[in-house]
Amino acid sequence: MSDLEKKTGLPCLFCGNTGTEAIVLPDREYHRCLSCQGITLDQRFRLSASAEQERYRLHINTLDDRGYRSYLTHFLDTVLDFYRTRLSADTETLRLFDFGSGPTPALVELARERGIDTRFWDPFFAPEGKNCIGGADIVTCLEVAEHFYEPRTNFLHLAGELRPGGLLAIGTLLCDNKDFPSWWYRQDSTHVSFYSKQALLALGREAGLVLESAKEDRIFLFTTKDNPSSP
């Protein structure tokens, strides 16, 4: 253990284990779970709600940006291909719920362009957003999970938005433990939770979900345990 790390007794926000270590860096302090290897930002370094919202307003992510449209298209195609192949070939009545849509709900627009019945919600920009009555076939959470202050609570919420046999699609980068101090992903001041594969598995178990597929180590597809293909 380096001089930058010290053991703590704080509970892990991913798996609940109490064996964690502090990672003390010049700009921020983090806590890494010794069991699941997930990392969270120390509460003292979280932004205020107003500062966090202002940071999100700086995001210029619209479908007019060809690069961003391509990025969203790849994510949505990956999710829909998995759904058609593993869960249901019938997508005519598909219902999708986007959790954390942001100031510009571009993924929602893209899904609606394809004729998908899409609802959305965001704590800052669409707090009155409506979910899918009876549960969604697919819940998407793209570039949102890294902002979760309470990952276990949030995953339970996401699972609760699914119908039985539905699909949860999480888009985030896996934690780079080896080069974490210099990792560009941690340097965004709104990123507070960094996931390992073990952390995602633990969260899935807690929420009654099964991690079925990990695409490119950045798209993680969960199904509910009542899905016939799940173990």
Q: What is the pLDDT of residues 69-85, one digit of tens each?
A: 999 999 999 999 999 99
Residue keyed to tokens 């079925």: 212
Which is more confident, 102 or 6? Answer: 102
Q: Is the pLDDT assigned to residue 164 strictly greater than 80? A: yes
Q: Is the pLDDT assigned to residue 231 strictly greater than 70? A: no
Q: Is the pLDDT assigned to residue 225 strictly greater than 90? A: no
- pLDDT for 190-215, tens place per residue? 999 999 999 999 999 999 999 999 99
**pTM for the predicted model, two decimal places:** 0.92
Q: Which residues have C-beta within 8 Å of that of residue 88, sequence separation ≥ 6?
A: 137
> Chain centroid to CA 63: how far?
21
By the 8 A CB rule, do 89 and 129 touch? no
Between CA 175 and CA 163 the distance in angstroms is: 30
Domain ranges for the chain: 47-224
Q: How high does pLDDT run on average in the chain?
A: 91
What dihedral do alpha carbons 201, 34, 11, 189 form, nearest 10°? -80
In this prediction, residue 177 carries a pLDDT of 75
Q: Is the pLDDT assigned to residue 2 strictly greater than 50? A: no
Phi, psi of 193 (to 5 degrees): -125, 130
- DSSP letters, the chain, are --TTEEEE-PPPTTT--S-EEEEE-SS-EEEEETTT--EEE-GGGPPPHHHHHHHHHT----TTSHHHHHHHHHHHHHHHHHIIIII-S--TT-EEEEES--SS-HHHHHHHHTT-EEEEEBTTTBTT----TT-EEEEEEES-GGG-SSHHHHHHHHHHTEEEEEEEEEE-PBP-STTGGG-GGGGSTT--EEB-HHHHHHHHHHHTEEEEEEETTTEEEEEETTSTT--
Does domain 47-224 match CATH 2.30.42.10? no
- pLDDT for 116-136, tens place per residue? 999 999 999 999 998 899 999
Choose among 148, 139, 137: nearest CA to 199: 148
- pLDDT for 12-56, tens place per residue? 999 999 889 999 999 999 999 999 999 999 999 999 999 999 999
- pLDDT for 173-193, tens place per residue? 999 777 999 999 999 999 999
Percent of the chain with pLDDT over 90: 80
Between CA 145 and CA 7 the distance in angstroms is: 26
In this prediction, residue 61 carries a pLDDT of 82
Q: Is the pLDDT assigned to residue 3 strictly greater than 60? A: no
The stretch 86-104 carries a mean pLDDT of: 88
Between CA 147 and CA 36 the distance in angstroms is: 19
